[in-house]
Amino acid sequence: MREITVFTHRRPEQTAPALALLAARAAEAGVTLCLDEEETRKHGLTAGPGLAVDVPAKDDVELCVVLGGDGTILRALQRYAFTGVPVFAINFGEIGFLATVEPQDVEDGIRRALTGEFELLRLPAIVLDMPADGRTSAAEPGGRPTAINDVAIHRKVGERVAEIAYALDGEEAGSVRCDGLVVATPAGSTGYNLANGGPVMAWGVEGFVVSFIAPHSISARALVAAPDDPLTIHNRSREPLDVAVDGRPAGEIAPDGRIHAHFANDVGLIAQLPGSSFYRRLREKFGRLAS
């Protein structure tokens, strides 16, 4: 049986019509949509033709369809990291930089998702080794948090300015008093990193960028690192620092503590329409914000 997982964002009134259309088209195509307990409750669903409810997300589905913005898309990419399950996203968010189609094209997008009329783009990630020295709490016991977009290191609210250093391939590259530091993949370079004045990296570039948040220095610069260079981040502050992975809390770095990270290829799979261009997407999404 063909099965597809569905994730939606937190405002069900915006996605309910698209979900109903997706369920109808799935039933016609002999495809079963699988929605977990949260999605079932959110939309008040009951089981029916082409619709399985209260089903935990599983790895052996052929596709994950997202009705939401970049946060929901990242949640789906996180769930299906390393599994080979593609994520097909219909944008219901503010920007939707990772989305496959826009909401005005929802009917055509659903048809393409169900018939497989899309190309696949492999996304890299930043993989954290936590804890590094026994004093760093991990997001998952024994796990390795993985960022499709970025890892953000922040000073805690109300605490004094942090002092953060980082090293690449064993060589210290920067040490700055700042509010934090961001490590971004090419897919994540248009987010927090861009707000820090860091460079945009085209999808397909191998490597990652490190940028400081509100550095207390006129010489602090973002740096694009080679994919094989291991990264170590040191907390030289007196207070612990918070760690967020793709915008979600993932632990902290103790004073004088550190974490290690590395670039990993082919972690996520995202669907794209044939002929999609990163540069057109960049112009359209950011041009829209400026208009």
**What pLDDT sits at residue 94?**
87
Give the global pTM. 0.89
194-241 pLDDT, tens per residue?
999 999 999 999 999 999 999 998 888 999 999 999 999 999 999 999
Contact 6, 33 (CB under 8 A): yes
**Superfamily in which the 2-118+273-290 domain is placed by CATH:** Probable inorganic polyphosphate/atp-NAD kinase; domain 1 (3.40.50.10330)
Rounded to whole angstroms, how far apart are CA atoms 123 and 80?
12
Token pair listed for 156? 């805690």
**What pLDDT sits at residue 139?**
38
Indicate the CATH number of 125-264 among 3.30.70.270, 1.10.8.100, 2.60.200.30, 3.40.50.2300: 2.60.200.30
Q: Catalytic pick from 36, 54, 60, 70? A: 70
Output the CA angle 22-278-290, nearest 5 degrees: 90
Domain boundaries, the chain: 2-118+273-290, 125-264
For the chain, give the mean pLDDT: 91
Name which of 166, 149, 160, 162 is nearest 248 in CA terms: 149
**Is 70 part of the annotated catalytic residue set?**
yes
**What pLDDT sits at residue 134?**
38
Stretches where the chain sits below pLDDT 70 are 1, 131-143, 288-291
